[in-house]
Chains A and B, each alone.
Chain A
Amino acid sequence: MSDSSIVVDNITKTFGGVVANKDVSLKVKKGGITGLIGPNGSGKTTLFNSIVGHHPIDSGSIKFEDQEISTFRVQQIARLGLLRTFQQTRIYGKMNCVENMLISIPHRKTGFWDMFASRDSETQENADRLLEFVGLYEKRWLRAGDLSFGQQKLLEFAMALMNEPTVLMLDEPTAGINPTLINGLIDRLKRANEEFGITLFVIEHNMRVIMNLADHIYCLAHGQMLAEGKPDEVQNDQRVIDAYLGAH
């Protein structure tokens, strides 16, 4: 067993003539928090989508816990314990928060007849605890679609935790959240990493957040890996600064 959870090796993904990812390689360290940054349109979300099996890749290999997953489908990969959240928050809008949580149980642990399982108090308590953790306990009987955008992000995060993933990939967790809530969210992400032992892989635009959070950062630009390293190394890398200021 290597100490990397996800190993992406030389993957390329094109949409028609547009090269979204070109020979991208990276490693997500087990138990750590890895960041992925890059200007708009640099291929971050495409890379996420490739990893979780949302679309097939053109070439290269993706390994999760030493298992090749580049040909697997979304549900299979999710059931391996590799989960992602969406940039455009996705929750089940017409169901209330508790129901959203109860259906987010780890489906890799369920068999055919578990489909018809009744609600049990253990799952219920777990859901309540996690809703409390993200600060939505009082709103738990509201329909998820009636929550504010920021609250929906928190709910999506809680649902992901409910799934007990080994690796959680977050696509811009702080986008659209008001600045006072962001600190609380960073704290919760760190706690999820430390207390629940979930490896995090985070796309983030907010430099303050990612520098605070990640222990290792990759920077994509124009679909290619531009730089990697510790947060302060990446922050001071001239190529990264140029990419963000548009010198490329």
Chain B
Amino acid sequence: MNTGFAKSVLYVCVLALGIFLPIIFPAYIGQMTLLWLMVIFALTWDILGGQMGYNSLGNIFFFGVGMYAAAMIQVSMYYDLAEYTSPAGGGIYEFSFSQYFTGMTVGFTVAALVSVVFAIILGRLVFGLRGPYFAIGTLAIATVAGELVSTWELVGGGGGLSLPNFPGEPSGSRTLFYSMMFLLAIATFSFLKWLYSTRFGLAINAIRDDEEKAEGMGIRTLQHKTVAWSISAFFLGIAGAIFGNFNNFIEPLEVAFPTTTFGIFMVLMVLLGGKGTLWGPVIGAVLFHIIKELTWTYLLGWQWVALGVLIVITVVYFQQGIMGWLMEKYPHWFGIRVEGAKQRLSDMMDEAAK
């Protein structure tokens, strides 16, 4: 059928845009790094929020955990962390090319692992909660984490800490982090595309539709929920590590655990695009990022108002999102059909004609 061909064209287009846009418009490379970050946010939020029916408001926690874990490793592998972050320090800290990249590789790996470990431990606590209680419980985790890190002197407290400088031209660092974020977005998408095709995808959908029934049928619900959150945490942890280095400076409330900006954006993007679908979060993220940047450029001063209006409209009038709307309008595009319905209809017509 043509849909297979159309799909491969779509994939090639997205890949081509991802590769060539930053070359054509080098001034916007930072914006596009953020765009891929938004895509990762939306995709990872949708694992729980869309596919499993658990609206987490605290997924941003893993973003911050990854960011701080990577930063701590990257610095402490070569310097004393307490001295590095002390306000009176003032020393010169340089990282050679190999130090920089070794630290980054180790740091990113640890970031992913620490996030997963946190997801497993915290999952035991919060997965006893359902519905709005889960949302509030997870929000509390992210908020508390931000406040706790603010008081942690070792990592600079509320003053934050700077990450190792890129050993080379600044443009080189921009290209590097753009490529990393782009590749991570592709990896996240591909992984989830595979994941949703396995039994795991069906099981978390079952938990979404009726968790009690799923338990009654013998599905290991806690195991599935924990693994789903760990996958989310894995990709968010790496994303946080990349973003920390991209930003070159991290601090707890605005950058690492921003529950009121990134933490809410990820929910909104998924709702806008259509939750519980693979492409919904991607479409939602792209659309949202464009709208957000346009309002920041042309409605400066009113940008938060515009964003608020967008949130209200989406949540109140357009909960099903773009993909959900398409699914209602054209169910046959998504394979929802009665077998042999056409045949039976024509049989009935013949019968009536006789």
Contacts and interface: CB of A to CB of B under 8 A. Distances in A.
B195 A137 contact: no
A99 B276 CA distance: 15
Interface residues of B, number: 33
B209 A86 contact: no
A200 interface: no
A18 interface: no
Given A92-B205, A116-B198, A116-B199, A78 B216 contact: yes
B217 interface: yes
A108 B218 contact: yes
Interface string A81-93: 0011010001111
Contact of B198 (A93, A99, A118, A143): A118
Contact of A142 (B206, B216, B338): B338
B193 interface: no
Given A90-B213, A93-B209, A94-B208, A75 B195 contact: no
Given A75-B219, A115-B223, A119-B197, A91 B213 contact: yes
B209 A75 contact: no
Interface residues of A, number: 39
A128 B223 CA distance: 28
Contacts of B221: 75
B169 interface: no
23 contacts: A74-B216, A75-B221, A78-B215, A86-B216, A91-B210, A92-B205, A92-B213, A93-B210, A94-B276, A95-B205, A95-B206, A103-B205, A104-B217, A105-B199, A107-B220, A115-B199, A115-B203, A116-B199, A118-B197, A119-B197, A119-B198, A138-B340, A140-B339
Given A74-B215, A115-B199, A116-B198, 17 more contacts: A75-B219, A75-B221, A91-B213, A93-B210, A94-B205, A95-B206, A99-B202, A103-B219, A107-B217, A107-B220, A108-B218, A115-B203, A115-B227, A116-B199, A118-B197, A138-B341, A163-B218
Interface of A: 52, 74-75, 78-79, 83-84, 86, 90-96, 99, 102-108, 112, 114-119, 137-143, 159, 163
Interface of B: 195, 197-200, 202-203, 205-206, 208-210, 212-221, 223-224, 227, 276, 335-341
Closest 4 A-B residue pairs measured CB to CB? Answer: A78-B218, A92-B209, A107-B218, A103-B202
